[in-house]
Amino acid sequence: MLLTVEDLHANYGTIEALHGISLHVAEGEIVTLIGANGAGKTTTLHSIMRLPPPEAPKTIKGDIKIQGESILAIPTHDVVRKLHVALVPEGRRIFGNLSVMENLTLATYARNRNDDLEQDLDQVFTLFPRLAERRKQRSELLSGGEQQMLAMGRALMSNCRFILLDEPSMGLAPLLMQELFKAMRQLNEHGMTILLVEQNARVALRFAHRGYVLDTGSIVAEGTSDLLLNDPEVKRAYLGG
Amino acid sequence: MFDGIIQNIFNALQWGSFYSLIALGYCLVYGVLLLINFAHGDVFMVGAYLAFFLATCLLGAGSLPHWLILALIVPLTMILTSLVGVAIERVAYRPLRRKGANKLYVVITALMCGLILEHANLAIFGASRRSFPTLVDQATINLAGLSVTNLKMAVIVVAFLVFILLELVISKTKIGMAMRAISYDRFAIPLMGIPPENIIVFTFALGSGLAGLAGLLFAMSYPVLDPYMGAMIGWKAFIAAVVGGIGEIRGALVGGFLLGFVEIMAVAFFPSTFRDLIAFTILLLILWKKPTGLFGVSRYQKI
């Protein structure tokens, strides 16, 4: 199993945000985590990335494993660099004062000198041709959709094989959203494992193979996408009837 | 008369160089951590003392030629002063950062670190002033009819070279990119596979190394050292960095030279006791008109 989360409890300060969640993601899967605002979706992703408190949650109990090995003691930069897991954070968090190209270059900071960076750059530019057109532009001048593409391109440049996406469709026009999901589908067909956090549950479940439903820090339902899409309880609470 | 003006300009450039070299250190650390490292002026003092001890040791070691001693002292002073800066970061600032301490406490810690450096020096080496040995014989060089001492010229040239190198590092190298990126969004840095502490340590090493270089050049130009020599010049360089627009290295350079010129011109036309009053008043007026400094921009609001 690529990722296993076992009975994870996580706190922000003294407030418990996750009350023992367990989930797993297999190699090559697309798994989605759905739930309302404040359910603990971002908290889960930040815990997996081992982002440091106080901005990120502190793991209190439970375990997170990548390919069977606990990563609790591994710092974020090594989760990215050595375990090849990347997070595309909520709100994109691109470096607005850097150009598009500099953002992409920075993500190769820790990579091997002899890696084929040109090929990876080609891949990103093929997936998102708009980025190629705007490579010299200061990235805070990009549109929201382009910024999201840059955030994904940046993750790809870090040489990841497992990508965590936090609300990638937030604030995007429907057409751009389709473009983005198409790109993610392509990535998955080339072997990328994806864990997707979305508020738009219907879109997410149609895209993913499996899903988990989070509610106030606990997993309340899980199963294949078809199963969840047809679950009366999930339908009522998350799919608008 | 004409010669007097030229001499004043060179003096202004020389003092501007000292202020700029120190201001760059404030600026670099502020850019990366949004922290005013108030110990920085005293790191400059430590640099001057380190240069003094190195020079005395090497001169005592026997018959090394002076040029060789100087060639050894420059890198050694910079490296040792870097280590002092990095040690301060490690011992004082990092633990507070890890605990998520409020900025105010970090700034007060920085002030304390500066005072500790001053008073450790006072306690260990005593209050007596030390005079820096002569390594380079003062000579006057003629540049197209203008005469200037070799040392003054060297200080000015070094300051400009340092600035050009720094500008290259920050705009062209990956570590420079990371320094700019970390000032924009610290959260996302480890997500790029970059250990944030590496960037922070590099920044302190760089800034402190430049302060060490400034300390050495200052000690060679004005060869009297005392434990408080870094306090006033440190404050002035800090103000120069703010006037230039802290966080922008162009600002540190321009702010430093601006302060140098204002001071020298004040002395040229008023009694010398008016120097700091006039200089600071002018800087205050600049900040009054442009609170973000000459090159500073108010930060974009992040959504």
Q: Are residues A63 and A77 in the same domain?
A: yes
Neighbours of A108 (CB within 10 A): 20
Binary contact (A106, B303; C-beta < 8 A): no
Q: Are residues A165 and A151 in the same domain?
A: no
Question: What is the tally of structural domains in chain A?
Answer: 2
| Full pLDDT tens readout for chain A, 241 residues | 999 999 999 999 889 999 999 999 999 999 999 999 889 999 999 999 999 988 889 999 999 999 999 999 999 999 999 999 999 999 999 999 999 999 999 999 878 777 788 899 999 999 999 999 999 999 999 999 999 999 999 999 999 999 999 999 888 888 888 989 999 999 999 999 999 998 889 999 999 999 999 999 999 999 999 999 999 999 998 887 6
Nearest alpha-carbon partner for A197 in A184, A186, A187, A183: A184
Q: Please indicate, yes or no, if residue A178 is contained in any of the structural domains.
A: no
Question: Are the C-beta atoms of residues B269 and B226 closer than 8 Å to each other?
Answer: no
Per the structure, the complete domain to which residue A41 belongs is given by 1-84+161-173+192-241
Q: According to the model, what pLDDT value does residue B283 have?
A: 86
Q: Which of A135, A159, A183 is the last residue of a domain?
A: A159
Nearest alpha-carbon partner for B255 in B204, B211, B293: B293
The Cα B13–Cα B263 span in angstroms is 11
Q: Are residues A80 and A3 in the same domain?
A: yes
Binary contact (B185, A93; C-beta < 8 A): yes
Task: Give the distance from residue A154's alpha carbon to the nearest chain B alpha carbon, in angstroms.
Answer: 8
Q: Which of A159, A183, A207 is the last residue of a domain?
A: A159
Question: Are the C-beta atoms of residues B69 and B58 closer than 8 Å to each other?
Answer: yes
Q: Are residues A52 and A121 in the same domain?
A: no
Sort out which chain B residues have CB atoms less than 8 A from A109's CB and list them. 174, 178, 192-194
Q: CB-based contact (8 Å) between A54 and chain B?
A: yes
CA–CA distances in Å: residue B7 to residues A121, B1, B18, B73, B152: 55, 10, 17, 29, 10
Q: Are residues A67 and A103 in the same domain?
A: no
Q: Please indicate, yes or no, if residue A186 is contained in any of the structural domains.
A: no
Q: Please indicate, yes or no, if residue A226 is contained in any of the structural domains.
A: yes
Neighbours of B127 (CB within 10 A): 10
The H or E element that residue A34 is part of is strand A30-35
The residue in chain B having the minimum alpha-carbon distance to the alpha carbon of residue A92 is B188
Q: Please indicate, yes or no, if residue A185 is contained in any of the structural domains.
A: no
What are the structure tokens assigned to B162, written together?
Answer: 């340092």
Q: Please indicate, yes or no, if residue A152 is contained in any of the structural domains.
A: yes
Nearest to A93 among B174, B183, B187 (CB): B187
Q: Are residues A52 and A169 in the same domain?
A: yes
| Full pLDDT tens readout for chain B, 303 residues | 677 888 889 999 999 999 999 999 999 999 999 899 999 999 999 999 999 999 999 998 878 888 899 999 999 999 999 999 999 999 999 999 888 888 899 999 999 999 999 999 999 998 888 999 988 888 888 877 778 889 999 999 999 999 999 999 999 999 999 999 999 999 999 999 999 999 999 999 999 999 999 999 999 999 999 999 999 999 999 999 999 988 889 999 999 999 999 999 899 889 989 999 998 898 889 889 888 888 876 654 433
The Cα B65–Cα B86 span in angstroms is 32
Question: Are the C-beta atoms of residues B93 and B99 closer than 8 Å to each other?
Answer: no
Q: Please indicate, yes or no, if residue A150 is contained in any of the structural domains.
A: yes
Q: Please indicate, yes or no, if residue A25 is contained in any of the structural domains.
A: yes
Task: Give the distance from residue A223's alpha carbon to the nearest chain B alpha carbon, in angstroms.
Answer: 30
Q: Please indicate, yes or no, if residue A40 is contained in any of the structural domains.
A: yes
The Cα A62–Cα A68 span in angstroms is 14
Q: Are residues A30 and A119 in the same domain?
A: no
Q: Are residues A47 and A122 in the same domain?
A: no
Q: According to the model, what pLDDT value does residue B268 have?
A: 86
Neighbours of A137 (CB within 10 A): 14
Q: Are residues A80 and A104 in the same domain?
A: no
**Judging by DSSP bridges, how do beta strands A69-70 and A58-66 pair with one another?**
antiparallel
The Cα A148–Cα A156 span in angstroms is 13
Q: According to the model, what pLDDT value does residue B1 have?
A: 65
What are the structure tokens assigned to B151, written together?
Answer: 């040392």
Q: Are residues A151 and A165 in the same domain?
A: no
Could you report the predicted ipTM of this complex, rounded to two decimals?
A: 0.94
**CATH code of A38's domain:** 3.40.50.300
Q: Are residues A56 and A105 in the same domain?
A: no
Q: Are residues A75 and A11 in the same domain?
A: yes
Of the residues B184, B192, B301, the best mutation for testing chain A's interface (the one with the most A CB atoms within 10 Å of its CB) is B192
The Cα B77–Cα B50 span in angstroms is 6
